[in-house]
Amino acid sequence: MKRLSHIQPHELTEIVKEEAIQLNFDLVRITSAESFTVDRDVTMDRIKSGHMDGLQWFTEARVSRGTNPSILLPGSKSIISLGVNYFQHRKEHSSKERPTGKVAVYAWGRDYHKVIKRQMRTLVANLSERLDSTFESKWYIDDGPMLDRAVARRSGMGWVGKNTNLLSSEFGSWIFLGQIITNLELRPDDPIKKTCGNCIKCIDKCPTGAITSPHIIDNTKCISYLTIENRGPIPINLRSSIGDWIFGCDICQDVCPVNTKSQISNQPEFTSNAKESVDLIELLGMTEDQFLDRFQGTPIMRAKFSGMQRNACVALGNIGSTTAIPALGTALNSDYSLVRGHSAWALGKLGTSAATDLLSRRLNTERDQYVIDEITTALKCPSL
């Protein structure tokens, strides 16, 4: 076996890629550890323009650090860019009697953060064993400071679409991204020159108008933000546009022509414990402990119990099934004002005499001003 110092960068790169493929990574590319100066400037502009509002953790300091690999790992030379396909076909289960809410495909299985970090940790261990040498490394996915799409783009894994998702020729946009910064000297891959051309389907089909122009998303209008990261009320003017989405949104991916040849994921962690759609009436009837039992270990936990019940209320209002009135009536008495307020909106949108009666009775006992305002609006504007 050659000593690590005697292995040429191109040989070492092939070893890295072989080990990654054996661990079930679908894509593996290499880029240098040079700073991502252009991506940093573009992202800073988005923060300053307010397009990232609502994400308190997404700060200029974080972006500055995450676009300079030498800060994250002093002495770094290369970045291993990794992709995991998570695509599954959606099946419709909803009916007027038992309405269901849609969940973004990435959240159907286990929490990908844990799954992919475990795979990356194993990759580093396997490489150390095969090379009979330790080396410096740090690994990240989208909960770390690195700009994952910038790394993937520069490594040649794909190009950034007008909906800001990374698009790969092999798997479209249905890929989780991971990065391993290392002091190994590897041979970088070249970026690819593909673009979306004149296609603007993702822009045209976004129901809230969140994609304001090519490559620019107003985070505060994005259904994914509104149903997951947003901890407060969903703006009334956007609720009807959310439709039956209760965790994330796949619309801009579903309409993307690059995704027409998507391949089913062969990763069992992303198909087991599938939560592709959720019974909304059942969700509103859950206790917090029951919610934890059902969704623990999945990305859905990020929205929290009150957030998911809030989302269920909005979806039920949009679906328009009167079978949901008893469940919405229960939600109108929730311990969470956030849930009570959105239940009031949904009942107002249904606009039946039974719904109006529930709202009137709750108004007599409600003490939270936010909820009072929601009920008052719902009573004044039935079928909002």
d(CA 139, CA 181): 6
CATH architecture of the region 286-384: Alpha Horseshoe (1.25)
Residues serving a catalytic function are 142
> Is pLDDT above 70 for 382?
no
Mean pLDDT of 259-276: 81
For residue 161, how far is the Cα from the chain centroid? 16
Mean pLDDT of 119-131: 95
What is the pLDDT, as a whole number, of residue 274? 55
pTM score: 0.93
Q: Which amino acid is at 9?
A: P
What is the pLDDT, as a whole number, of residue 270? 85
> Is pLDDT above 70 for 49?
yes
What is the pLDDT, as a whole number, of residue 253? 97
**Start-end of CATH 1.25.10.10 domains in the chain:** 286-384
CATH architecture of the region 4-182: 3-Layer(aba) Sandwich (3.40)
168-201 pLDDT per residue, tens: 999 999 999 999 999 999 999 999 999 999 999 9
224-252 pLDDT per residue, tens: 999 999 999 999 999 999 999 999 999 99
Alpha helix segments (H runs only) across the chain = 9-22, 37-48, 60-66, 69-72, 112-131, 148-154, 201-205, 223-224, 236-242, 251-254, 280-285, 288-295, 304-319, 325-331, 337-350, 353-363, 369-380
320-341 pLDDT per residue, tens: 999 999 999 999 999 999 999 9
d(CA 43, CA 60): 8
Question: 60 versus 277: which is more confidently predicted?
Answer: 60
Tokens representing 123 are 């990759």
**Start-end of CATH 3.40.109 domains in the chain:** 4-182
Place 55 in a pLDDT band, splitting at 50, 70 and 90. Answer: confident
> Is pLDDT above 70 for 137?
yes
Mean pLDDT of 97-108: 91
Helix (H, G, I), strand (E, B) or coil at 118: helix
Tokens representing 131 are 């090379």
What is the pLDDT, as a whole number, of residue 5? 66
% of the chain surpassing 70 pLDDT: 96
Instruction: Give the chain's length.
Output: 384
What is the pLDDT, as a whole number, of residue 303? 97
What is the pLDDT, as a whole number, of residue 273? 52
Place 57 in a pLDDT band, splitting at 50, 70 and 90. Answer: confident
25-48 pLDDT per residue, tens: 999 999 999 999 999 999 999 999
Helix (H, G, I), strand (E, B) or coil at 204: helix
Place 143 in a pLDDT band, splitting at 50, 70 and 90. Answer: confident
